Amino acid sequence: MSTAMDVVQLSRLQFGLTAMYHFLFVPLTLGLSILLGIMESVYVMTGKEVWRQATKFWGVLFGINFAMGVATGITMEFQFGMNWAYYSHYVGDIFGAPLAIEGLMAFFLEATFVGLFFFGWDRLSKETHLGVTWLVAIGSNLSALWILIANGWMLNPVGAHFNPDTMRMEVTDFGAIIFNIVAQEKFVHTVSAGYVTGAMFVASVSAIYLLLGKHIEIARRSMTVALSFGLASALSVVVLGDASGYTATENQRMKIASVEAMWETEPPPAAFTVFGLPNQATHRTDDALRIPWVLGLITTHSLDEKVPGITELVQRNEDHILSGLLAYSALEKLRADRNDANARAQLDQYMSDIGFALLLKQFRPDIENATDAEITKAAWGTVPDVALLFWAFRIMVGLGFFFILLFGFAFYLISIGCLLRVRWLLWVLAFALPLPWIAAESGWIVAEVGRQPWVVEGVLPTFLAVSGISTSNVLVTLFGFIGFYTALLLVDIFLMIKAIRLGPGHNVPQPRARELPAASGAE
Amino acid sequence: MSRHPLLPEVTIALAVKLIVILAAALFVFSPKQRPRIDAASMQERLIGAPTANPQPRSILQ
């Protein structure tokens, strides 16, 4: 079993790393595409050439990021077929549909109009080109929507049922999959995080220009757009993240309890642990610093509703395992006799828990003979890595509040025309550049590590979704991907730095010094 | 629009990337190399070999 578990861990690592590398490119595309639309809208409305230059300059950086990032997600689809073949068979009918729609509709829309964006400046009217730019932004965001519909289904598998004849999940209600509340909330939270990333990128690069005294006109205007958009986005991320946490209390209670390292259920409203050292072995959080009421208010929006702790949820999962064993037994009977009506009825009754029974497969093949100790062990196995989730969540939330303060303060200063004189804040903005990526990757760790041990929440355990391939096979592709993506990232950073050094307006006439307005205040 | 000075470098990087991904798709992740899963193998994966006398527990235990 250890080799099989190695393949599981390596496949998870490979998928996680490729997803995280891919998501280095995605948020910047999401955020910059909207900022391009805003800047070009101002150009079309005011007719001022400087806004056209700004749009073209940030468009070049968008283009580099798009070119380096495009198709980096496709390697994950390779892995679905190779490393996750059982997963692909079991839920491919559902999971594949949004991915296919993303490729056919959103990505082609985005890719087509990216070409028109770059080559249409002198061929299209101002208004038509503006339409193209917004279609690029809409395409990028629609791509994210379909991907997150697929991802949201893994967290909250609605609109599907298991067919024992085909041994796979099949769609019963595509509308329920599309309008899955978890997917919709993940979408708005994720794209808002992308907007923060785009805003921080523009603000940081503009701050560098302002500190160096270069490209002042474009940098000052870009800074104004980035700070206002960044403030609105940072507020959205926090508000929508809160809504996401509220939904998670219904669908992913174990994740919430683990994120809060809340081992025991407390009388409502539960306290929030600001700091602590979660210990998975002793089921305790040492040296905890706690604020009364806050967790209960955040997760239930009430004063009298309980937030179940990990131990209580584990006990509930033991019941789910016992119930799931009845579904498993029905499945065995159906294998012997496809026409056994009683077995079908029993399967329908307990099917929602069969995933829990399958957790026992990691201990023994004949799970109907599992011991109480094995059932308890399997139930405790539904607890994800508490310490990792606890800290990843706090990094994400801490940075989220930092972005609100930073954008808010800087926006206030630029609104009253003082930002350029507060050089320390420009330095802070410049050095804050990588922080949105750290926040976004931490968010993905919370979302995906928090889903473990499930590949599809409550339906299919991760270890059963992995293909029976060799460890060496996974290792080769794992190191191949690490090398490939690292090289790609370095090239992306190299080209970005080069483009930023070249600066805006290298291929358009620069305004003469006497035409420049005073470098203060926002326009 | 005049050509951007970085256009050749971006084009080369994009082309190399697409070649690597295409090569991976053809030589490492091609359908021939993927495990073939059907209803029978999925059943084997989830249920395993049949047991002589399955004795499911009661949830009322």
Q: What is the pLDDT of residues A117-142, one digit of tens each?
A: 998 998 999 999 999 999 999 999 99
User: Is some CB atom of chain A closer than 8 A to the CB atom of B10?
Assistant: yes
**Residue A227 pLDDT > 70:** yes
CB B43 within 8 A of CB A91: no
A383, A410, A430 - which closes a domain: A383
* A339 in the same domain as A268: yes
A261-306 confidence digits (pLDDT tens): 999 998 888 888 888 899 999 999 998 888 888 888 877 778 888 8
The verdict on A373 and A444 lying in the same domain is no
Judged by DSSP in three states, A84 sits in coil
User: How many separate domains does chain A show?
Assistant: 2
Q: Which chain A residues have a beta carbon less than 8 Å from that of B9?
A: 495, 498
Instruction: Supply the pLDDT for residue A295.
Output: 82
Last residue of a domain, one of A383, A418, A437: A383
Q: DSSP label at B38?
A: -
B50: nearest CA partner in chain A: A332
Cα diameter, chain B: 78
Q: Is residue A105 in some structural domain?
A: yes
DSSP reduced 3-state for A362: helix
Q: Is A499 on the interface with B (CB under 8 A)?
A: yes
- Kindly state whether residues A290 and A369 are assigned to the same domain: yes
In a domain, A232, yes or no: yes
Please give the pLDDT value at position B51: 55
Residue A99 CA to residue A406 CA, distance in Å, equals: 36
Q: CA A387 → CA A258, A390, B28, distances in Å?
A: 8, 5, 36
Domain shared by A375 and A393, yes or no: no
Between CA A474 and CA B29 the distance in angstroms is 11
Query: Do A138 and A270 share a structural domain?
Result: no
Alpha-carbon distance of A144 to A107, in angstroms, equals 10
Q: Could you tell me how many CB contacts below 8 A there are between chain A and chain B?
A: 130
In a shared domain, residues A373 and A392: no
**pLDDT of amino acid A506:** 65
CB contacts under 8 A, A 305-364 vs B, are 319, 322-323, 325-326, 328-329, 331-332, 335-336, 358, 361
Residue at A522 is within a domain: no
Residue A520 lies in a domain: no
Statement to judge: residues A459 and A326 lie in one domain: no
Q: Is residue A205 part of a domain?
A: yes
Q: Is there a contact between A351 and A341 (Cβ–Cβ < 8 Å)?
A: no
The full DSSP string for A425-474 is HHHHHHHTTTHHHHHHHHHHHHHHHTTTTEEETTTEEHHHHS----HHHH
A510, pLDDT greater than 70? no
* Final residue of a structural domain among A383, A402, A420: A383
Check whether residue A24 and residue A172 sit in a common domain: yes
Instruction: Tell me the pLDDT tens digit for each residue of A160-201.
Output: 999 888 889 999 999 999 999 889 989 999 999 999 999 999
Interface test with A, best of B34, B38, B41 (most A CBs within 10 A): B34
Within a domain: residue A177? yes
Q: Is the separation of the CB atoms in A314 and A380 below 8 Å?
A: yes
Structure tokens, A12:
């998870």
pLDDT at position A516: 42
- Shortest CA distance to A102 belongs to which of A151, A50, A51, A172? A151
Poorest-pLDDT segment among A96-100, A146-150, B16-20, B47-51: B47-51
Q: Report yes or no: A393 and A446 within 8 Å, Cβ to Cβ.
A: yes
Q: What angle do CA A96, A464, A74 make, to 5 degrees?
A: 35
Both A17 and A44 in one domain: the answer is yes
Classify residue A521: in a domain, yes or no.
no
State chain A's mean pLDDT as an integer.
89
Please report residues of A whose CB lies closer than 8 A to that of B61.
322
Q: Test B59 with A322 for CB contact under 8 angstroms.
A: yes
Instruction: Show which of residues 145-164 on chain A sit within 8 Å of chain B, judged by CB atoms.
Output: none
Same-domain check for residues A108 and A225? yes
Residues A335 and A458 in one domain: no
Distance CA(A257)–CA(A232), nearest Å, equals: 29
Query: Are residues A315 and A363 part of one domain?
Result: yes
Please report whether residue A523 resides in a domain: no
Domain of residue A220 covers: 2-252+384-467+476-515
Place of tokens 């809160």: A242
* Among the partner residues B33, B46, B56, nearest to A329 by beta-carbon distance: B56
CA atoms within 13 A on the CB side of A169: 30
Least confident of A270-279, A289-298, A350-359, A387-396: A289-298
> A367: which 2 tokens?
């799970």
